[in-house]
Amino acid sequence: MDAETSVDWTSKVIPLGATGIISLLIGVLLEKFKNRLCLLKYSTSFQSIATSSQVDNWGAIDVYHNGRLTKHLNFVSIKIENSSNADLQDVNIDVSCDPQSQFLAHSAFYNESNRPILLEQNHYNYYTEVLQRNQADMVLAGQNPNHVTPKQLSDELLWVQVNKKFHLPVFYRKTEITINLLAENYQAYIPTIGVGVLHKSVKLLMTTDVDADNKKIILWMLGLGVLILSLELYLLIDFFPLSKEPIIIATILALTCSLVGLGVVMLFRFIRRIVM
């Protein structure tokens, strides 16, 4: 092999090898990123329970909760799934509602074991302390008609009425929790509910957002795969011009096998959803 042939061979093999190495590195980085990011997906459902109203056709309808007249009661159910491949420890779930609503009661549990999930300890202590100070303030107001409730206490009371923080000692992979809340809205509307998680390497998305996010990832991966495959196909044909037809046929077969594999995976997931 003369020097010219060696240089020509090297100039063709190096780009081909570099393409393969780049493809491998991209795949490794994508997999590493996927494993590092823990994805939690949630859904929220609402069910109206009762509404107080004063109309001529139906008469006076009063709805009470623990002896207190309420305007409109809603049952709110939040389901959160740890769809990642990692177990999470010490996860706090923050739930809030709009200022025109308030939480009257709550419960939470692990779906698989039905074990209860409690409020985060500091949040519970603060919640209890604010209610005690508010009860003492109400006693003072009953004793003194000119008593004015401190603004700080009013603000704190409003905050604890619209915020809940639940603590999960552990959130196992591929498991789900449920948070149920009884909420009152002062204007007879469905309350606006916010759900948040502040935890390292954890991303919380609504179920609809997760589906859209997954579609984006699939499209990016398909586009990147087609680009890399086209580049490799060009380099192979350029390096082996006499084997052009077999290379194209092999590429078509590889794409066909990939599509068949994708179809099998989708069928398996569909069957698993039906069975489970």
What's residue 270's pLDDT? Answer: 67
From 155, 214, 161, select the one nearest 185 (Cα to Cα).
Answer: 161
Contacts of 109 (CB under 8 A, 6+ apart): 115, 116, 117, 177, 178
What's residue 246's pLDDT? Answer: 74
Q: How far apart are CA 106 and CA 108, in angstroms?
A: 7
DSSP 192: P
Q: How far apart are CA 147 and CA 56, in angstroms?
A: 38
- Residues β-bridged to residue 213: none
What's residue 74's pLDDT? Answer: 95
Task: Encode the chain (276 residues) as per-residue pLDDT tens digits.
Answer: 444 444 454 544 455 455 555 555 555 555 555 556 788 999 999 999 988 876 667 778 888 988 999 999 999 999 999 988 889 999 999 999 999 999 999 999 999 999 999 999 999 999 999 999 999 999 999 999 899 999 999 999 999 999 999 999 999 999 999 999 999 999 989 999 999 998 888 888 887 655 566 666 666 766 777 777 677 777 777 777 777 777 677 777 767 766 776 677 677 766 765 655
DSSP 85: S
Q: How far apart are CA 85 and CA 88, in angstroms?
A: 10
Q: How far apart are CA 194 and CA 198, in angstroms?
A: 13
For helices 3-36 and 207-239, what crossing angle results, to 10°? 170
For the stretch 90-121, what's the b/e string if a residue is b when 16 or more beta carbons lie within 10 angstroms of its beta carbon?
ebbbbbbbbeebbbbebebebeeeeeebebbe
With beta carbons less than 8 A apart as the criterion, state whether 95 and 42 touch.
no
From 35, 47, 4, select the one nearest 190 (Cα to Cα).
Answer: 47
What is the phi/psi pair of residue 228, to 5°? -65, -40
From 193, 134, 188, select the one nearest 163 (Cα to Cα).
Answer: 193
Give the residue extent of every domain in the chain. Answer: 3-35+212-275, 39-200
What's residue 7's pLDDT? Answer: 44
Amino acid letter for position 180: N
Q: Could you count the other beta carbons within 10 Å of the beta carbon of residue 177?
A: 24
Question: Top-level CATH class of 39-200?
Answer: mainly beta
Q: What angle (nearest 5°) sits at the alpha carbon of residue 61, between those of residues 53 and 50?
A: 80
Q: Could you count the other beta carbons within 10 Å of the beta carbon of residue 131?
A: 14
Dmax (CA) of the chain = 108
